[in-house]
Amino acid sequence: MYLRDLISLTSSSFLTYRMRSFLTGLGIAIGIAAVILLTSIGEGLHQFVIKEFSQFGTNIIAIQPGKAQVQGSSVGIFGSVRALTLEDADALRKLPYVEYVIPGMMGNAEVRFEGRTRRTMVLGEGRDFDKAFTMKVQSGAFWTDADDDQARPQVVIGAKIQQELFLDQNPLGQYLRIGGQRFRVVGVMESKGQILGMDMDDSVFIPAARAMELLNRPSLIEIDVSYRADVDAETVIRLIKNRLIEVHGREDFTIISQEQALEVLSSVLEILTFAVGALGAISLLVGAVGILTIMTMAVAERTAEIGLLRALGAREQQVLALFLGEAMMLSALGGGLGLLMGIGIAQGLHMLVPALPVHTPWMFAVLAELTAVSIGLAAGVIPAMRAAKLDPVEALHAE
C-alpha cells in the first residue's frame, strides 16, 4: 500500500465524521495552544528580563559594604563595619583583568538653572562611568580628572534634565546648581528610559567625592568593577575579595556578579516555564484520552469493514496502519490547530498589551507538534492493535 493511499483512506473516515473528528482534535489543540501560549509568554519574559539586566554589560561585579550573613541584609550586622571608600576603589583599580572601577553614590537633591528647579536623582560616579556601563553620552563627555578624590565640580546631565531645565539652550559649559553648589555641565546623556524602575534620563551624574560631600555621607554605597570579557567572573571575584580583605583586615563586604545574578534569574524563569509546560501536558493527556475513546468507538463501529478489508487481502499490519494513521492524523491536525491558536493568542495579547513580551521559539513549536503526533500514536496503539487482531470471520458478520 502506498503512503498516499494510506493518507487518503484515513482522511476519508476523518472527513466523514467531521464534527466528531474536530472535537477530538480540539482536545489536543487546546493542550498544545496552552503550552505554546504560556511558554511564549514565559520565554518572552525571560528574554525581556535578561535584556533589561544585561544592557549595562554583563561583565560587571558590584561590591557593597557589609557582609550578607543571611539573605536580604547588606547592611552591617555589627556596628563596626568598615565602609567602602575611594581608597578601596583605587586599590581595586590596580588589580589585573580590571578595566574600569566606578565608585558609586546615590541620593536626591534639588537642581536649579536660571530659576527653574527640579528634584532629581543625583548619582555620584567615577570618570569612566559611560564606558563601564555601556551608556552613551549624546554630547560632551564625562570628566577626565584622574584623581577621584580631587575631581572638580562637573556634571553630566540626563536627557530629561536638559529638556526641563535648559529648554532650547545648549547646556554644555553652563553652570547648574545642585543642592546649592555650582557644577559645570560637561556632557548630556543619550536618552535611555527606565531601567528596572529607575529613570536614568531624570538623573544627574557627578564625581563620587562631590556627591559624598553634597549628600553629607562618609562612604560609598557601592563600587562597580568591570573586567575583561575574556576572563572568568570567578577569577576576578577572588582577586577582589583577596585585595579587599588585605585592606580591610576581614571580609566586611558583599560581592555580587552580574553573571551569577543572571544565572539565578535564568534558572528561576526556566523552572517557571517548565511548570507552565507541565500544566499544558495535563491538558494534552486529556486530549489523548479523547483520541483513545474515539478510536475505540471507530473500531467497534467499523468491525464489519475491518472484516471486509481482511477478506479483500489486507494484512494485519495494513489494518493496524490504517487505524494508527487515523489517530495520528487526528492529533497532528489538532496539534497544528493548537499551534495556530497558541501563537495567534500570544501575538494578539502582545498587540493588546505591548508591554507584555512574547516569543515563541520555533524549536518549541516543532517539538509541540511532534508531541501531538506521538500522543496520537500512543493513544491509537491499543484500538489499532485490537482492530488488527480481530478474527476476520467474526468481524465480517458483525453488524
Binding site for another protein (CB under 8 A): 1-2, 4-5, 9, 12-13, 15-16, 304-305, 307-318, 392-393, 396
8 Cβ neighbours under 8 A, 6+ residues apart: none
CB atoms within 10 A of CB 396: 17
Q: Toward another protein, which CB reaches closer, 3 or 363? A: 3
Query: Minimum Å distance from CB 378 to another protein?
Result: 24
Query: Minimum Å distance from CB 323 to another protein?
Result: 14
Closest by CA position to 306, among listed 394, 238, 227: 394
Write out the H or E segment, with its range, that includes residue 98.
strand 98-113
Query: Minimum Å distance from CB 18 to another protein?
Result: 12
CA distances from 229 to 72, 132, 239, 265 (A): 29, 12, 16, 21
Query: Minimum Å distance from CB 354 to another protein?
Result: 49
Q: Toward another protein, which CB reaches closer, 225 or 330? A: 330
State the Cα–Cα distance between residues 83 and 220, nearest whole angstrom: 7
State the Cα–Cα distance between residues 344 and 360, nearest whole angstrom: 11
Residue where the block lists cell 588589580: 95
Question: Coil, helix or strand for 301?
Answer: helix
Query: Minimum Å distance from CB 44 to another protein?
Result: 45
Query: Minimum Å distance from CB 304 to another protein?
Result: 7
Q: Toward another protein, which CB reaches closer, 13 or 258? A: 13
Query: Minimum Å distance from CB 20 to another protein?
Result: 13
Q: Toward another protein, which CB reaches closer, 125 or 326? A: 326
Q: Toward another protein, which CB reaches closer, 245 or 393? A: 393
Question: Coil, helix or strand for 315?
Answer: coil
Nearest 5 degrees, angle CA 207-CA 213-CA 219?
Answer: 85
CB atoms within 10 A of CB 74: 15
Q: Toward another protein, which CB reaches closer, 6 or 256? A: 6
Query: Minimum Å distance from CB 383 to another protein?
Result: 18
Q: Toward another protein, which CB reaches closer, 275 or 304? A: 304
Q: Toward another protein, which CB reaches closer, 12 or 73? A: 12
> What are the helix (H) ranges across the chain?
3-16, 18-54, 86-93, 129-132, 159-161, 208-215, 233-248, 258-301, 303-311, 316-352, 362-389, 392-396
